[in-house]
Amino acid sequence: MSKVKTPKKSDEIAENSGEIVEGSPTAMLTPQVGEAIIGDLDASDIAFPRMQIVQGISGLSESFKTGEIVLDGETSIYSGESDDPVELTVVRIGKMFEENINWDDGEIPRILSKADAVAAGGSFEWGANGEKPDWRAIADALVCIKGDDPENFPFDHEGDNYAFALWRIKGTAYRRAAVPIFTAARMYYRDGLHNGSFMLSTEKAVFSGKTVYCPKIRRGTRNDASFVEWLKEFS
């Protein structure tokens, strides 16, 4: 890798009531040990469903249309432009850095905290001659999604159904989803991301001749106090 080049100060993230963290957003979650669960448990013993946007090159495209949003690889929660957007609240979001490698080499990219990526060496910005950075920012968000089906949205609060999922935001999606979430935490949800929702849909975009589906996220509504308190039970 090339000479170490640290991220700009503008890329830094400030904590917001513990909702914005460095690293995995589930790292601080520990199962409650009691009569039903015993032993030395940690965050690695918790597995959340994944929320994903279907792309043409993904395995999900064999069962779903490109542009759909799928929960846990099994259930479509957004089917396209004519569908209502997904309403979600960000419970916690963590920023990390992924090694920017050539996938054709068959290597698995490392995912590190900012401090560990800096220690590993390499660049974080595009070079003057178009050289790719050695590390790119990604985010993992633990989100609470509102839905109608109790089977797929098993958590109930005051008659509404919800599901919790992890959403990995990377590549072109980072600027279109992670950055707006971080911005909201500094602007209209500066009292805490728990306090308001986002509306998520997808839109088609073309990059270097390739069509991809990107997240489209906008401000939702303020959450009431009872819902905010309920969310804290999971974070």
In a domain, 90, yes or no: yes
CA–centroid distance for 22 within its chain? 13
Q: H or E element: which one contains 167?
A: strand 160-169
Which tokens go with 30? 């520990």
In a domain, 3, yes or no: no
In a domain, 37, yes or no: yes
Higher pLDDT, 144 or 114: 144
Which tokens go with 51? 């929320």
Q: Which pLDDT tens digit goes with each residue over 123-164? A: 888 888 878 888 999 999 999 999 999 999 999 999 999 999
Q: What's residue 140's pLDDT?
A: 93
Q: What are phi and psi of 67, to 5 degrees?
A: 95, -15
Q: What are phi and psi of 31, to 5 degrees?
A: -60, 145
pLDDT band at 187 (very low <50, low <70, confident <90, very high): very high
In a domain, 104, yes or no: yes
Q: Which pLDDT tens digit goes with each residue over 155-169? A: 999 999 999 999 999
What is the biggest distance separating any 2 CA atoms in the chain, rounded to whole angstroms? 61
0.85 cut: is pTM over it? no
Structural domain count, the chain: 1
pLDDT band at 101 (very low <50, low <70, confident <90, very high): confident
In a domain, 112, yes or no: yes
Q: Which domain holds residue 56?
A: 9-232
In a domain, 222, yes or no: yes
| 235 vs 231: CA distance, rounded Å | 7
Q: What's residue 113's pLDDT?
A: 87
Q: What is the DSSP string of 61-115?
A: GGTS-TT-EEETTTEEEE-STTSPPEEEEEEEEEEEEEE---GGGTPPPPEE-HH
Cα separation values, 85 from 59, 114, 140, 153, 191, Å? 23, 33, 20, 16, 24
Bridge partners (DSSP) of residue 21 are: 94
